[in-house]
């Protein structure tokens, strides 16, 4: 910028903007042919994204030139910073709207009947209640499950029902046969199952006495109507069905079906008893073919409820707020809570989400904005531009603040809090426009470790590729003339891609570089803290050696199967350490910040920043001639100015190439 001031001072008679040629700045005579009005318009479009007003045109006509201080003044306008935010949003591809997998399983929606309880629908209901989409019984209060009015199927229920187990975990209060497995037909002429025995309705249906236990009272609208249920498999050709009776040989208690394929299936009568999953107390499962529903309780309103209510009706399973399963002591504060009957949605339903997607979409928008705000803060403060890749500074609005502080939606958002929860600024949930600055923990490295970057580029390799494209202006491709190896070449079976024939052209660079994100999860935004995720986990190793490749779903980040000798020697090793040399292991420890520091020594970051900004201002990349004329000088000037982006932009705008674009 100081260089521009000196040059322009000697050229005030012209539309004076200097050019950086290979031998330094000169005042080119051809500049006198550039119409002032066109140049003013061009500068305004690039700096503030709009044409000049008539008053601004007159100002420069009277002045006779656009001077460096004029451009500097434009660079302090909010319109300029808005342009720069748009530039960096595109550069970083900061949009994760298609990166977050949400199928609605975590969302609480109310059932518009009965007590109108909030509850989870979708896949979790299969494990909790026995059928996809099944909710709780909206007409029964859990604490009153033994009231006479709540005994819907006396012939299927015990004389005295238990509403809770010994640890106050809600138990089923009503039962139906699943229409996924049974064909259930209404007996419309009867008021209950006992009176339906032997009766024939208008459609010719009759419930035999021996099948009384396969009748259930199910709701048609709000009314309870007896339904006669038989397994659908009984109608499949080639299936032999055997009825199994109780001890008195009066009631059928199960159907045993032998298919033509030789497969045998047994379907027992439904009741309120749960089965143990894997024989472990506290891990319940619903018997096959049954839908077992718990009732409703009044509980604390969800965190997103803005109605002012303190208590709302909610399904008894979802209303629980435990931190651990009381039987197994397994944590409820992970994604497994949806399949654990004892966990629930947590205090104020923090583990679940609202059926109204506005909050979810607001979080996506906030995560998209975070890296853009980091770059904005660096440019506003005239800091070294590459702080955007290394700074620990970040920002939260209300949706992110409360998500981190209250551990909200941990299944949908697999994001590690960037610092201690109570150190994150406390911004009200509904405040989406206030952004509070704070400092992240040591592992943070500018935009490269934001959830937006980690989710948008979900694998270590994808993160390397985007870094190369955005900040080094490089692309991964095989070397010219590279020939793919013959299919029978044993090198094709090499599991280490950095060594595999035909792959090593790129992966010899990609794999070691990807290790810089080795402590960050893939397909999520979690931080694998060394204290919780050691380099070698003995428990995971022992599980792997015993053939247990899941180890209770706690070793997903570790090598649990051997596909070659290195894998056999690496069981229980954090996966990112597999195939790493001792030098490459330092990349895992140093993280993305170490990678940036290394590239700062090569000049590649400066040259790519010049290329990117050149394309932004001129609307095209540098030609070969322009590279030889400008690239080296602009990169050197950028470095000399402390990597000040505004100074770089002024230097590019000082070139004849910029002044002459259409």
Reported as a single tens digit per residue, the pLDDT across 418-440 is: 999 999 999 999 999 999 999 99
- What is this structure's pTM? 0.87
pLDDT in the model for residue 4? 39
Two tokens, residue 390: 């290394």
pLDDT at position 271 over 70: yes
pLDDT in the model for residue 473? 97
CB 124 within 8 A of CB 133: no
How much is the mean pLDDT over the chain? 90
- Summarize pLDDT for 566-604 with one digit per residue, the tens: 999 999 999 999 999 988 999 999 999 999 999 999 999
pLDDT in the model for residue 77? 97
Residue spans of beta strands (DSSP E) within 163-222: 174-177, 182-186, 215-220
pLDDT in the model for residue 662? 56
Mean pLDDT, range 220-225, rounded to an integer:
90
Strand 19-21 and strand 24-26: the pairing is antiparallel
Two tokens, residue 336: 């497994």
In the beta sheet, which residues pair with residue 520?
Answer: 527
Q: Where are the domains of the chain?
A: 2-83, 111-173+291-351, 174-271, 358-453, 457-535+574-599
Q: Report in angstroms the alpha-carbon separations of 587 from 512, 515, 516.
A: 7, 6, 5
More confident residue, 268 or 553: 268
Mean pLDDT, range 534-547, rounded to an integer:
96
- Summarize pLDDT for 455-486 with one digit per residue, the tens: 999 999 999 999 999 999 999 988 787 788 88
- Tell how many helices (H) and how many strands (E) occur in the chain: 20, 19
Two tokens, residue 446: 């500018």
DSSP conformational letter for 156: T
Instruction: For the chain, give percent helix, strand, coil, nearest 5.
Output: 40, 15, 45
pLDDT at position 496 over 80: yes
More confident residue, 29 or 123: 123
Burial 129-142 (b: 16+ CB within 10 A, else e): bbbeebbbbbbbbb
Query: Nearest 5°: phi and psi at 165?
Result: -85, -170
Mean pLDDT, range 542-567, rounded to an integer:
92
More confident residue, 200 or 612: 612
pLDDT at position 14 over 50: no
CB 212 within 8 A of CB 190: no
pLDDT at position 256 over 70: yes
pLDDT at position 62 over 80: yes
Query: Nearest 5°: phi and psi at 347?
Result: -60, 130
């Amino acid at each position: 910028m100081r260089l521009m001031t000196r040059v322009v001072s000697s050229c005030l008679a012209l539309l004076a903007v200097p050019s950086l040629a290979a031998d330094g700045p000169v005042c080119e005579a051809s500049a006198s042919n550039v119409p002032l009005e066109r140049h003013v318009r061009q500068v305004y479009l690039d700096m503030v994204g709009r044409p000049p007003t008539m008053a601004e045109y007159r100002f420069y006509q009277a002045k006779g030139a656009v001077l460096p201080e004029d451009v500097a003044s434009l660079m302090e306008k909010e319109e300029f910073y808005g342009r720069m935010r748009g530039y960096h949003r595109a550069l970083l591809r900061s949009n994760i709207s298609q990166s977050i997998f949400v199928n609605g399983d975590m969302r609480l929606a109310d059932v518009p009947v009965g007590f109108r309880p909030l509850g989870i629908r979708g896949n979790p209901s299969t494990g909790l209640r026995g059928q996809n989409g099944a909710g709780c019984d909206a007409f029964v209060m859990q604490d009153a499950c033994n009231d006479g009015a709540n005994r819907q199927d006396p012939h299927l229920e015990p004389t005295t029902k238990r509403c809770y187990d010994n640890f106050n975990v809600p138990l089923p209060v009503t039962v139906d046969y699943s229409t996924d497995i049974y064909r259930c037909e209404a007996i419309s002429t009867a008021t209950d199952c006992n009176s339906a025995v032997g009766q024939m309705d208008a459609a010719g249906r009759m419930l035999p006495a021996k099948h009384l236990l396969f009748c259930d009272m199910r709701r048609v609208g709000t009314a309870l109507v007896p339904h006669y249920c038989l397994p659908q498999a009984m109608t499949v050709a080639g299936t032999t069905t055997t009825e199994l009776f109780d001890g008195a040989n009066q009631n059928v208690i199960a159907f045993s079906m032998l298919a033509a394929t030789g497969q045998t299936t047994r379907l027992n009568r439904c009741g309120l008893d749960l089965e143990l999953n894997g024989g472990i107390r506290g891990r319940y499962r619903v018997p096959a073919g049954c839908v077992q529903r718990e009732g409703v309780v009044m509980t604390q309103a969800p965190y997103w409820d803005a109605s002012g209510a303190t208590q709302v009706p909610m399904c008894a399973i979802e209303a629980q707020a435990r931190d651990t399963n009381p039987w197994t002591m397994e944590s409820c504060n992970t994604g497994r809570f949806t399949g654990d009957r004892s966990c629930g949605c947590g205090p104020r339903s923090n583990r679940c989400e609202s059926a109204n997607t506005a909050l979810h979409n607001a979080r996506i928008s906030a995560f998209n904005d975070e890296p853009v705000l980091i770059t904005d803060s660096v440019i506003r403060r005239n800091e070294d531009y590459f702080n955007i890749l290394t700074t620990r500074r970040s920002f939260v609005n209300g949706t992110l603040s409360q998500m981190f502080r209250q551990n909200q939606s941990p299944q949908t958002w697999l994001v590690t809090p960037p610092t201690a929860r109570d150190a994150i600024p406390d911004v009200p949930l509904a405040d989406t426009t206030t952004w509070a600055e704070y400092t992240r923990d040591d592992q943070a490295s500018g935009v490269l470790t934001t959830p937006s970057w980690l989710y948008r580029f979900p694998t270590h390799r994808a993160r390397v590729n985007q870094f190369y494209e955005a900040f080094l202006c490089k692309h991964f491709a095989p070397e010219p003339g590279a020939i793919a190896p013959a299919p029978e070449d044993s090198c094709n079976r090499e599991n280490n891609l950095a060594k595999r024939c035909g792959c090593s052209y790129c992966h010899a660079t990609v794999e070691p570089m990807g290790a810089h994100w080795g402590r960050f999860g893939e397909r999520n935004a979690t931080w694998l803290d060394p204290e919780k995720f050691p380099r070698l986990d003995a428990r995971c190793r022992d599980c792997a050696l015993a053939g247990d490749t899941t180890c209770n779903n706690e070793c997903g980040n570790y090598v649990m199967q051997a596909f070659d000798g290195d894998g056999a020697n690496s069981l229980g090793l954090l996966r990112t350490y597999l195939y790493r040399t001792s030098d490459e292991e330092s990349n895992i420890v140093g993280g993305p910040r170490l990678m940036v520091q290394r590239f700062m020594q090569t000049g590649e970051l400066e040259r790519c920043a010049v290329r990117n900004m050149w394309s932004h201002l001129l609307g095209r990349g540098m030609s070969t001639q322009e590279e030889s004329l400008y690239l080296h000088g602009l990169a050197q000037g950028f470095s000399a100015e402390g990597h000040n982006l505004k100074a770089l932009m002024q230097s590019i705008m000082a070139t004849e190439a910029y002044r002459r674009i259409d």
